[in-house]
Amino acid sequence: MRDGSGVRRTAARLAAVCRIAVCLAAPLPATAQAVADTGWIPLFNGRDLDGWTVKITGREPGDDPARTFRVEAGLLKVVYDGYTSFGGAFGHLFYRTPFSHYRLRVEYRFVGEQVPGGPEWALRNSGVMVHSQPPSTLTRDQQFPVSIEFQFLGGTGAGERSTGNLCTPGTNVVMDGQLVTRHCTSSRSGTWHGDRWVTAEIEVHGGGHIRHLIDGQVVLEYDAPQLDPADADAKRLIHGADLILREGWIALQSESHPIEFRKVEIRVISPPPSESPGKASHARPLYH
């Protein structure tokens, strides 16, 4: 016979997942029990971009006249058929809700050719930004949000090129007890050539530990995501001495090479008691 505490834990978990689903306004799987069993909530509904806001460099939030981000045949696509030249139009598609402790899973693949005018380094290059500032706080001409980037790179047909890397626009992290201020850090992943689907996951524990996984294997780990006081965009967001980022928005990138996503889903993780709501010692104003 199941003890009472086990029943209470099961009921609490189901209630929590249902609250998350309502908050995200995302469709549930077939039954609430299926959600409770897996914990995964889809952020992309497979039909449209409901719940997402695009921000293209040089334009206001929501303005994407070339339909860079679109949904076709159940896939969320980054497409450049409306461009004659890239022109520095870096883009990001932001989900409407900030998150703190979670595991995000996406399935992506690079397709087609890079749009003319795209920078050489952006060939088969994209990613997901986490702990990002919201789209409303980006300046009109800002190319990248202050965030932690889970970078995706596709193989070029020859040589090695890891994916699941880390890049840090306006931020720093800690690795092996040392503050890391370089912009990008390569992962331990293999190389994925061609247009095969790749499963990428990032596990985020607030302002603590972060792990990158590719096809189920941990390829990079670090701690203490934080604002970089030497970065001009980050300086606008700093208020007080606490630089640690404990939550933020999620955004998909457009960097001049077409990419497709067939799954974008999240599983929220309960924070430790020391970071539960109401613990003022861990509070800092979210991006202003």
Could you confirm whether domain 43-282 is CATH 2.60.120.560? yes
Category of 164 on φ-ψ map: left (φ > 0), alpha (ψ -120 to 50) or beta: left
Segment 235-261 mean pLDDT = 97
Instruction: Kindly report, residue by residue over 67-108, the tens digit of the pLDDT.
Output: 999 999 999 999 999 999 999 999 999 999 999 999 999 999
- Parallel, antiparallel, or unpaired for β 69-72 and 75-78? antiparallel
Is residue 283's pLDDT more than 90?
Answer: no
Instruction: Please answer whether residues 181 and 229 qualify as being in contact, where contact means their C-beta atoms are separated by less than 8 angstroms.
Output: no
Instruction: Please answer whether residues 259 and 110 qualify as being in contact, where contact means their C-beta atoms are separated by less than 8 angstroms.
Output: yes
Instruction: Please answer whether residues 261 and 252 qualify as being in contact, where contact means their C-beta atoms are separated by less than 8 angstroms.
Output: yes
Is residue 202's pLDDT more than 80?
Answer: yes
Structural domain boundaries of the chain?
Answer: 1-39, 43-282
* Rounded Cα gap, residues 185 and 191, in angstroms: 15
Nearest to 118 by CA among 259, 282, 269: 259
* Rounded Cα gap, residues 67 and 82, in angstroms: 7
Q: What is the pLDDT of residue 35?
A: 56
Is residue 278's pLDDT more than 60?
Answer: no
Question: What rounded mean pLDDT belongs to the chain?
Answer: 88
Q: What is the pLDDT of residue 99?
A: 97
Instruction: Please answer whether residues 258 and 112 qualify as being in contact, where contact means their C-beta atoms are separated by less than 8 angstroms.
Output: yes
* Rounded Cα gap, residues 231 and 245, in angstroms: 15
Is residue 245's pLDDT more than 80?
Answer: yes
> In the chain, which ranges are continuous DSSP H helix?
4-24, 32-38, 232-235
* Rounded Cα gap, residues 51 and 281, in angstroms: 32
**Per-residue pLDDT band at 272 (split at 50, 70, 90):** confident
**Per-residue pLDDT band at 273 (split at 50, 70, 90):** confident
Is residue 8's pLDDT more than 50?
Answer: no
Q: Which of 19-33, 64-78, 133-147, 259-273 has the lowest mean pLDDT?
A: 19-33
Is residue 60's pLDDT more than 50?
Answer: yes
